Structure 1
């Protein structure tokens, strides 16, 4: 599990000092790969014990393990260097690798047990991904209602209960209207799943379960700049295959019992 995901999953444990440390690290990742815990404590104007506790809240042994993970992930999070086709290959590879290692059991349970399923995409590509999610799951009698616009979002909010499920697909995870909507979803205790790029983002923190794509701004030969988002569709296909496997396991258990 990557550092951004650890922060999102343990966000409720973090206090103001922890968030200050994380913000400094996010702004100075390359530097933080090499500095000592004492140097980081001095730069953040806090104690080394506070930094140790921060890393332990992320289920890490200490700052040493944190630095090792940061070094491994640095290439993923550097969005400003010139890109190559090989970089794009690596993003796809890392997304698939993360999906292979991800435990989908709880997400499959949520989909299986939901009375009503809703999916909301925050932009054009995200809407296309939402429709792809809908297309896949209809073949196993799970119908996702695609939500378009604020009026439909509010309608879902009025009728949905804790027996339903909302999936939200975003890139940055910071679209203001979606964040405010999810705050209301959380108040109503409606289960939710986010699909965003791998980052410390508000939407992921507000949702019960998170799925991530690994992407970057692509700038090849200084000519074209765009965001690599094809992983949405790979992730959704893998999610569907995991769900089919889950159904097979349930059927096998029923046969045995």
Structure 2
């Protein structure tokens, strides 16, 4: 049995810290296979005991057995199988279940009290998710200004005002460009909301509010092309829209009393 399958099997026993550890390991299997337990713990920003606890929760004897599994999985397979497709499907199911437990009130607060809202994505899919956020929020009379490219980033940094909020979409939260942008926003004392995969990452550390989604499947190779599931970006956007619609409605009732 592979690590992905073990995590899925024991998913209900895992807490947010365990999922954070798995998020890092799943995306750095080759590196983790060569690390000590202390090095993995440092990368995950957790204790050595946290790594051991995670391994035991998925039925392994300890870190040595976890490394054995990692070494066995280090060869990427090019063949697309029913097992891989099912694994991706299961990752979405688990990801949706995990995300619905998150409280989005803080994000809704930032949107409600913002003077202006901007959004930027670190890649093509992330930018598509930003466009969807802009489209949906417009239905609620909320204007989201989409940032495109370095020229617009520079313009925004020179024209930020008090009360502005910036949404940053990134899969891993470690892209050099978006992390640089996040640090520049932080220096401007701007409110930052990040949307990233559930793992320790530089971008989320800069955020006033960090929104995470679970993406359990590791990237796979299809005809020598890397494929990584990213549909959760759009699920997060739709859930944020629905939660904010309810939040906005409740606020209007409170204020009319």
> What is the TM-score normalised by the length of structure 2?
0.70
Deviation at 1:247, TM superposition (A): 1.1
Q: Which residue of 1 aligns with 2:136?
A: 136
Q: Which residue of 2 aligns with 1:147?
A: 147
Q: Which residue of 1 aligns with 2:190?
A: 190
Deviation at 1:129, TM superposition (A): 0.6
Aligned mates of 1:166, 1:64 — CA distance in 2: 33
Task: Find out whether 1:234 has 2:235 as its counterpart.
Answer: yes
Q: Secondary structure at the match of 1:199?
A: coil
Cα deviation digits, residues 26-79 of structure 1 (max 9, x gap): 9548x99xxxxxxx6xx66xxxxxxxxx65xxxxxx94797148845x99xx89
Q: Secondary structure at the match of 1:189?
A: coil
Aligned pairs (5 A) from 1:1-150:
2-3=16-17, 28=32, 55=47, 63=49, 67-68=53-54, 71=57, 84-150=84-150
Deviation at 1:219, TM superposition (A): 2.8
Q: Which runs of 5+ in 1 are unaligned?
A: 8-24, 33-39, 45-53, 56-61
Number of residue pairs matched by the alignment: 215
Deviation at 1:166, TM superposition (A): 0.3
- The range that moved more, 106-115 or 91-100, is 91-100
Q: Which runs of 5+ in 2 are unaligned?
A: 1-14, 22-28, 40-45, 61-65, 78-82
Aligned mates of 2:120, 2:99 — CA distance in 1: 21
Asked whether the equivalents of residues 99 and 214 of structure 2 are also in contact (C-alpha less than 8 Å), the reply is: no
Aligned pairs (5 A) from 1:212-227:
212-215=212-215, 216-219=217-220, 225-227=226-228
RMSD: 3.6
Aligned mates of 1:190, 1:4 — CA distance in 2: 31
